[in-house]
Structure 1
Amino acid sequence: MGVITFALVSEAKPWIRALGAKPDPAQGRFRYFRTPEHILAVTGVGKLAAALALGEISHKIPKEERKYCRVWNLGVAGTTSPNKSLGDFFWINRITDDSTKKEYFPERIESFSLKAEAHLTTFDRPVSFSKDQETKPFPNFRELTEEESKSVDLVDMEASGFFEAASLYFELEQIQVGKIISDHLEGTFCTEDKVTGYTEKTIEPLLSDFLKPFDWEKEELLPDSEKTHWRNIGESLNFTESMLVELEKTILYFKLRHPDSKIPLPQFPPEEKKLEKRMAKEIFQSWLGRLLV
């Protein structure tokens, strides 16, 4: 079984046709198209919509069947790079949320037909960028500064919301984000026909990979015994429940990215010091920083 979310109908159309998907009679608050095995969702623009759609989708799939799903977010993205051409496809290996500065690390543990990867930043508004300092910002667009543009590669408005919500219901190995270059941040919107055209050019290899059976015959990346071990360390450092949940996810990210490396330990406080809430937060942030290197 598979799930694909799109922000726009124009992104979804080629997939709806290729899979022979039909409108779901039980639409909910988003637009769904279904086959006996797959769900395609058009969420609308924005990370909140993308996140809410994942919650609704999870209720459409019996819990015991979720582990057999691929869960993808596909669509178009802008780029600051002149070396990336319109229509180029990239799997996303790192997502940065511009407003929260949180980072997420999708992991392609399979060998897909398309190989190129890129870093994606999710913004709350459309983004534009011009090296011409005399150019006025476009209305309703977030204008990147020259300095900001150096740390930004691809940009969209959905991926961080999609990924954070998807990771609540599915394992990280199941979740992928892929983006097609639609513009170079000129401050204009790509036409529907062009979006559909770019999608049609990439659908053949992606469809082949999407339809492959999902392989679960692999060793669990973070067994329950390890989860308990790291939770116990976190509890000994007075981490809150939300910190413990974030810690588990971050350790899993680390193992996905560095399978042969030893997980770094936190910097424990001196025994004579009383572990206060402020210190626990500092240790937590420091440990996450080492895990996200």
Structure 2
Amino acid sequence: MQCILSALKSESQPFIKFYNLEKDRRFSFPVFRNEDLYLLGIGMGKKYIEKRVNVFFQKMEKLPIQFINIGLAGGKKSIHTIGDIFIINKIRDENSNKFYFPDILYKHSYKESGITTVCKEITNGGAEFSDLVDMEASEIFKVCSKLSSAHNLIFIKIVSDYMDKSLENFGKNHLSTLMKSNIEGIATFIKNSNLSNNETHKILNDFDEEWLAKIIRILRLTKTQSLLIEKYFKGKMIRDPSYSYSTIPVNKPKSKFERNQIFKKICELLTA
């Protein structure tokens, strides 16, 4: 099951039409569906996200759900172009300064970027921000990561403005047109990412798990290295289920330096 999370009606409407979604009358807030694809309107900012997502999750009887946040973001005029689309790989909450890291296991052709989630709309040009800016991503990750694994939390952002004026000054057509112009590519990405939307689907089988454990043991990887190589391994097996990892040579390292070199080489093979 997949659930698109969007803040604005102008963000939602193109997807409602594209997927022929119909309003789900069980909810008092905007929810639309077509079979196993849902769209949940979360409103602008953090205010309603936790309550609405949790009510939705309970109604779905706690079934495995892949949450996909599709929305607009402010960009930097010197770096971005209006209409650019990004997959988010790092989220910073401006208020708490906490960082969140979605697991991007799926092969895609989009650029990746970090994003900062703010509490108030930025209209001064956003000189203090180095990446994209939005008002929902960190709260979505914080709430949804309690209900689903990190590789089932996807953030897709389209640059809508340069943070130099309020979104209210943009016509509704401007925002919806940005969505419509990217909708075919986003739909393909959503379809491809659906490979592991069900938590009962094991990405790694028992033999895969044994190989991974062996690598971690022989190389004496740190906890951080172990988590990273597991992430890359899962991503490789999703992209190429027939990948023959048994051909990767692994010898017991004689030093930390040698271990790190072997680790780096394996990561390069798994992400190729």
TM-score, with structure 1 as normaliser: 0.66
Change (3 A) 1:165 1:252: farther
Q: Hey, what's the Cα distance between the residues in 1 that align with 2:111 and 2:182?
A: 13
TM-superposed CA distance for 1:222, in Å, is 10
* 1:174-216 alpha-carbon deviations (Å, 9 max, x no partner): 1101100000011221322111100001110111222344233
TM-superposed CA distance for 1:217, in Å, is 3.8
Maintained 8 Å contact 2:105/2:232 = no
TM-score, with structure 2 as normaliser: 0.71
In the other structure, the counterpart of 2:87 is 91
* 1:28-84 alpha-carbon deviations (Å, 9 max, x no partner): 3x2111112111011111123223222122112233x31xx3210011000124231
In the other structure, the counterpart of 1:194 is 174
Q: Hey, what's the Cα distance between the residues in 1 that align with 2:101 and 2:231?
A: 8
Which AA in structure 2 matches 1:202? N
Counterpart among 116, 127, 131 of residue 122 in structure 2: 127
Maintained 8 Å contact 1:95/1:105 = yes
Q: Hey, what's the Cα distance between the residues in 1 that align with 2:148 and 2:227?
A: 14
Q: Hey, what's the Cα distance between the residues in 1 that align with 2:32 and 2:9?
A: 11
Maintained 8 Å contact 1:82/1:184 = no
Change (3 A) 1:203 1:185: same
SS at match of 2:183: helix
SS at match of 2:80: coil
Counterpart among 62, 65, 71 of residue 75 in structure 1: 71
Q: Hey, what's the Cα distance between the residues in 2 that align with 1:206 and 1:214?
A: 15
Change (3 A) 1:191 1:52: farther
Q: Hey, what's the Cα distance between the residues in 2 that align with 1:196 and 1:153?
A: 23
Unaligned runs of 5+ in 2: 214-222, 235-272
SS at match of 1:86: coil
TM-superposed CA distance for 1:254, in Å, is 5.2
Change (3 A) 1:62 1:187: same
Q: Hey, what's the Cα distance between the residues in 2 that align with 1:126 and 1:171?
A: 29
Q: For residues 248-259 of structure 1, what are the structure 2 equivalents within 5 Å?
A: none
Q: Percent identity?
A: 25
Change (3 A) 1:77 1:58: same
Quick check: 1:218 aligned with 2:203? yes
* 1:256-290 alpha-carbon deviations (Å, 9 max, x no partner): 66779xxxxxxxxxxxxxxxxxxxxxxxxxxxxxx
SS at match of 1:47: coil
SS at match of 2:25: coil
Q: For residues 81-230 of structure 1, what are the structure 2 equivalents within 5 Å?
A: 81-112=77-108, 114-130=109-125, 144=126, 146=127, 148-149=128-129, 152-189=130-167, 190-212=170-192, 213-215=194-196, 216-219=201-204
Q: Hey, what's the Cα distance between the residues in 1 that align with 2:97 and 2:209?
A: 26
Maintained 8 Å contact 1:43/1:50 = yes
* 1:127-185 alpha-carbon deviations (Å, 9 max, x no partner): 1234xxxxxxxxxxxxx4x4x23xx3100000001111010101111110110000001
Which AA in structure 2 matches 1:191? G
Which AA in structure 2 matches 1:109? L
Which AA in structure 2 matches 1:161? E
Maintained 8 Å contact 2:122/2:166 = no
TM-superposed CA distance for 1:251, in Å, is 9.4
Change (3 A) 1:7 1:255: farther
Q: Hey, what's the Cα distance between the residues in 1 that align with 2:209 and 2:118?
A: 31
Maintained 8 Å contact 2:14/2:179 = yes
Q: Hey, what's the Cα distance between the residues in 2 that align with 1:52 and 1:207?
A: 27
Which AA in structure 2 matches 1:120? I
Q: Hey, what's the Cα distance between the residues in 2 that align with 1:97 and 1:199?
A: 25
**Could you list the runs of 4 or more consecutive aligned residues of structure 1 that deviate by over 4 angstroms after TM superposition?**
220-223, 250-260
Maintained 8 Å contact 1:105/1:253 = no
Maintained 8 Å contact 2:105/2:231 = no
